[in-house]
Structure 1
Amino acid sequence: MRGGQEKQVAAKVVWSSDSAEPCPKCRKGAGECLCQKRVPEGVAKIRIEKRRGKTVTVIAELPLERSDVKLLLRDLKKRCATGGTCKGQTLELQGDHVDFVRQWLDKCSIAHRGWN
């Protein structure tokens, strides 16, 4: 370049491992974009069940994605110091943890009802 003039070249993607187009709003890849993710609407239902004499706290119909349900279960199991499992959109925690679960769902801004 002569005389201090610089030529600007537009950046062009030559090859990408992403098969999908980036999001037009945030320009992130399809796997990273959160602006088009739809969160199912609904209200989680909390109840207590007895199984073979043992108490189980059941949180049903969680309005979350599958991966978020698993993260919520992991957090609840750690904080309640108990075992639990995930069956679809339903969480089961061993023991009576209704009060803590209600507080935790409030903290996470998840609507819930049941077991007043």
Structure 2
Amino acid sequence: MAVCDKCGLPEDLCVCEEISKESQRVRITTDKRRFGKVATIVDGIDDKDIDLKELSSLLKAKCACGGTIKDRTIELQGDHKEKVREILENIGYSSESIDVK
């Protein structure tokens, strides 16, 4: 059985990811791009504890949009601020740690 290096618990009982989700300050903003297109920017997620690729895929699937990861930020095509906030709260981020601007 594999044991987590950080908390010492078995990997199926590991709480490191939940603890890191609660301690992060996530900022969700929009940015106007070329030709008047809007992009939603999700910033402030620590990529050491959270798999950004997996989170990006989840957000893109739930919002039905394209997107990418650039410089430890997730960029989604379109204005999805409220939907992203709801998704992050549903997967364990605390509502106090999410700033929507």
TM-score by length of 1: 0.62
Q: Structure 1 vs Structure 2: percent identity of aligned residues?
A: 33
Name the Cα RMSD after superposition: 3.0
**Structure 1 unpaired stretches of 5+:** 1-21
Gaps of 5+ in 2: none
Higher helix share: 2
Which of residues 45, 48, 51 in structure 1 aligns to 2:27? 45
- 1:90, CA displacement in angstroms? 0.6
Using CA pairs under 8 Å that are at least 6 residues apart, name the structure with larger relative contact order, 1 or 2: 2
- Which residue of structure 2 lines up, in the alignment, with residue 88 of structure 1? 71
Q: Say if 1:55 and 1:96, in contact at 8 Å, map to a contact too.
A: yes
**Equivalenced residues, count:** 91
TM-score, normalised via structure 2 length: 0.70
Question: Retained in 2: the 8 A contact 1:39–1:64?
Answer: no
Aligned to 1:4: none
Q: Greater Rg, structure 1 or structure 2?
A: 1
Aligned residue for 1:5?
Answer: none
- Name the CA shift for 1:36/1:94 in 2 (closer, same or farther; >3 Å): closer
